[in-house]
Amino acid sequence: MKLFHLSDLHIGKQLHQYNLAESQCFILDQIADRIREHKPDAVLIAGDIFDRSAPSGEAYTIFDDFLNKIAAILPAIPVMIISGNHDSARRLQYASSFFEKSSIFISALPPQNETEYLKKVTCTDEFGEVDFYLLPFVKPGYVRHLFPEGIVTDYGSAVKAILQRENIDFSKRNVLISHQFYVSGIEEPSRCDSEQTVISVGGLDSLDVSAVMGFDYVALGHIHQAQKIGCAHIRYSGTPLKYSVSEAGHHKSITEITLSAKNTALVIENIPLISDRDVCREQGKLNDILDRADEKHRHDYVSVTLTDENEIYHPKEQLEEIFDHLLEVRIDNSRTRKYLQNAPDSVRALDPAQVFMEFYETIQKCPISPEEMKYMQEIICQAGEEERDE
């Protein structure tokens, strides 16, 4: 069974002051073409469909056009979609039952009551059935009411409780689609500036891959660089477009997985995606940068760092005459470095648990105990979950 794994479309996102709608249409058309060409048995989209919880009309139109292009491919290819932390679950859930008539399966909300379970889609190949479990983005507060008190205390226990509740038959082949921040022990995935920064309360926003190790493949969203985490069969697909300067060196792609018989190694390949405009960095003296700009490069999204020691006359204006999608202009020379060295130290950024620990030790004149710290972390975590996505 051949699967296409995508995530983090972030439709509606801007890059600095530029609307990315044209680039997003270009890349989504390319993805639809690759689906038509490779004919996967299923397409998995692991959350963050939109960049905002209240997408614009333009964003809805772009996504609708993308789904229509896939739905027009015959025979029908199942598309499985979950919500991410950027999505409004209820907006994404709208008309999901209607979409299923076109083999588009959307799961935007975790189980809401004792009679509800994760959306499960079953596909069949020559080796038998494959069960796909669609786990939308979840915070502990979303599902705590489904379990006895004390079972769900953080993100990890929330996901574990939900999956255990499903009573999954792991003698069969199972695939999980999930949008969370997964780590492997002390190993964290590589992150980029474009990813939403979430305050980590003692690591409670993350969960270990051990919670999902039993699946034959785990299709993850949330992290913008394609990579495995912990094991080869647990992977982030990354974004289809570069959404920040920090992603300039990334190679965007579709993750293609070939799933054979149970307990058989996966075959994982990357199908390259080429955007209409690249995101790149330029560094050097102004005249050198202007001289080496070729015709194609002039239309890319460009971040420039100037190293000239002398004052330059209107550098931004000169660069804009050459680069029609200039993102930013930075200066890095001996004067700016000296200024930064002499600047006052920036205020340390502490998470709430760290602040409380230091306060406790100052007042009590002794370290906080592990039990007290764990209790405080749970309180802070719960306080941060009070607001749901609309």
Examine the fold and report which residue of 216, 248, 272 is the final residue of a domain before the chain moves on.
272
**For 326-344, what is the mean pLDDT?**
84
**Are 303 and 377 within one domain?**
no
Residue type, 129: E
Higher per-residue pLDDT: 203 or 135: 135
State whether 60 and 153 are in the same domain. yes
- Say if residue 12 is in the same domain as residue 92: yes
* Same-domain check for residues 28 and 137: yes
- pLDDT given for residue 211 in this prediction: 93
- What's the whole-number average pLDDT of the chain? 89
Three-state secondary structure of 345-383: CCCCCCCHHHHHHHHHHHHHCCCCCHHHHHHHHHHHHHH
Question: Do residues 65 and 30 make contact, with C-beta atoms less than 8 angstroms apart?
Answer: no
pLDDT value at 25 more than 50: yes
Residue 102 sits in the same domain as residue 136:
yes
Q: Domains in the chain: how many in total?
A: 3
In this prediction, residue 85 has a pLDDT band, given cuts at 50, 70 and 90, of very high
Closest CA to 323 of 302, 351, 353: 302
Token representation of residue 307: 């190293």
Range of the domain at 313: 279-342
Q: Are residues 266 and 285 in the same domain?
A: no
* 44 and 107 both lie in a single domain: yes
Predicted confidence (pLDDT) at residue 344 exceeds the cutoff of 90: no
CATH number at residue 300: 3.30.160
pLDDT beyond 50 at 336: yes
Structure tokens given for 364:
């009590």
Same domain, yes or no: 298 and 332:
yes
347 part of a folded domain: no
Q: Considering 223, 238, 272, which residue would you say is the last residue of a domain?
A: 272
Of 21-25, 148-152, 382-386, the poorest mean pLDDT is in 382-386
Do 127 and 257 share a domain, yes or no? yes
- Residue 265: count other Cβ atoms within 10 Å of its Cβ: 9
Same domain, 237 and 285: no
Q: Do 299 and 334 lie in a common domain?
A: yes
Instruction: Select from 272, 297, 325 the last residue of a domain.
Output: 272
Residues 115 and 197 in one domain: yes
